[in-house]
Homo-oligomer: A and B are copies of this chain.
Amino acid sequence: MSQNAPADPQIAPEQGGGKRQLLREKNRLTLLEATLDSIAEQGIAETSVSEIIARAGLSRGMIHLHFGGKENLVEAAAELSNQRYYEQLERHLAASGDRPQDKIVAIVRSDLSEEVLNTRNVSVWYAFRGEARKRAVIAGLSDTRDTRMGGLAKRSFVAIARAEGHTHPRAVARDASNGTLAILEGMWTDYLLHPDRFNRGDAARIVFRFLAAMFPAHFNLSGAR
């Protein structure tokens, strides 16, 4: 988690942080970005301290200074990447309509958007997944993701299944939620392995093909009805 407290004695509110603190934060972020870049391009196995500081253009000691060690840096990078994922999701949700099907469409669109589903993010995400069993912090991020998105999707699908007149709306909704998130996972894998031939429109159509078959009154091939 957090180890080296920045120990900021006073945050000068009228100055918005002195030049010194500003540079410090900038360097911290530079290290995180360099780490994500390296992991995306070379994988975690090839991402060494030397590799990171070379990309960041900073000195060797910075990693220990800012993060206390390589491991904490890598985990902080994972958290940053995860946080950005959620920022995009919240953005899409905020811009969506209020109907339950609108929320589902927002989740799908966010997960397949260029800001979320791109080479760097996917590479980084799968690199971390490969380490999830060994790193509790990283496993925790995936759990949070499950809980937040899964909860929202489930609630939306319950309303949809009820409106469609299903006899067991909650069972249907649970399966629809898990299935939709699973299929989005699969789309990420597709993108990881074939970033060139991947097509966002095709991916969305596949998702909505399933959803339209299950809830024809609420979805069609291009999203919400």
Contact residues, A125-155 vs B (CB, 8 A): 126-134, 139, 142-143, 146
With a cutoff of 8 Å between Cβ atoms, the chain B residues found around residue A184 in the complex are 186
A184 to B187, CA, bound (A): 11
Decide yes or no whether A175 CB sits under 8 A from chain B.
Answer: yes
Decide yes or no whether A21 CB sits under 8 A from chain B.
Answer: no
Candidates B132, B134, B187, B214; contact of A193 at CB < 8 Å: B132
Candidates B40, B132, B182, B207; contact of A185 at CB < 8 Å: B182
Candidates B127, B131, B213; contact of A214 at CB < 8 Å: B213
Candidates B45, B146, B178, B193; contact of A206 at CB < 8 Å: B178
Evaluate contact between B44 and A189: CB separation under 8 angstroms. Answer: no
Evaluate contact between B206 and A142: CB separation under 8 angstroms. Answer: no
Decide yes or no whether A85 CB sits under 8 A from chain B.
Answer: no
Decide yes or no whether A43 CB sits under 8 A from chain B.
Answer: yes
* Smallest CB separation, A223 vs chain B (Å): 15
Residues of chain A at interface, number, CB under 8 A: 45
With a cutoff of 8 Å between Cβ atoms, the chain B residues found around residue A220 in the complex are none
Decide yes or no whether A190 CB sits under 8 A from chain B.
Answer: yes
Evaluate contact between B172 and A209: CB separation under 8 angstroms. Answer: yes
A178 to B187, CA, bound (A): 9
* Smallest CB separation, A43 vs chain B (Å): 5
Decide yes or no whether A192 CB sits under 8 A from chain B.
Answer: yes
Question: Knowing A186-B182, A206-B179, A209-B172 touch, does A193 contact B130 (C-beta < 8 A)?
Answer: no
With a cutoff of 8 Å between Cβ atoms, the chain B residues found around residue A43 in the complex are 44, 130-131, 133-134
Chain B's closest residue to A185 (CB) is B186
Question: Knowing A130-B130, A130-B131 touch, does A183 contact B179 (C-beta < 8 A)?
Answer: yes
Decide yes or no whether A109 CB sits under 8 A from chain B.
Answer: no
Decide yes or no whether A42 CB sits under 8 A from chain B.
Answer: yes
Question: Knowing A175-B206, A207-B179, A214-B209 touch, does A133 contact B190 (C-beta < 8 A)?
Answer: no
12 other contacts beyond A181-B186, A182-B189, with CB at 8 A cut-off?
A40-B133, A126-B126, A127-B131, A128-B130, A133-B192, A143-B193, A178-B206, A182-B183, A182-B187, A209-B214, A210-B210, A213-B214
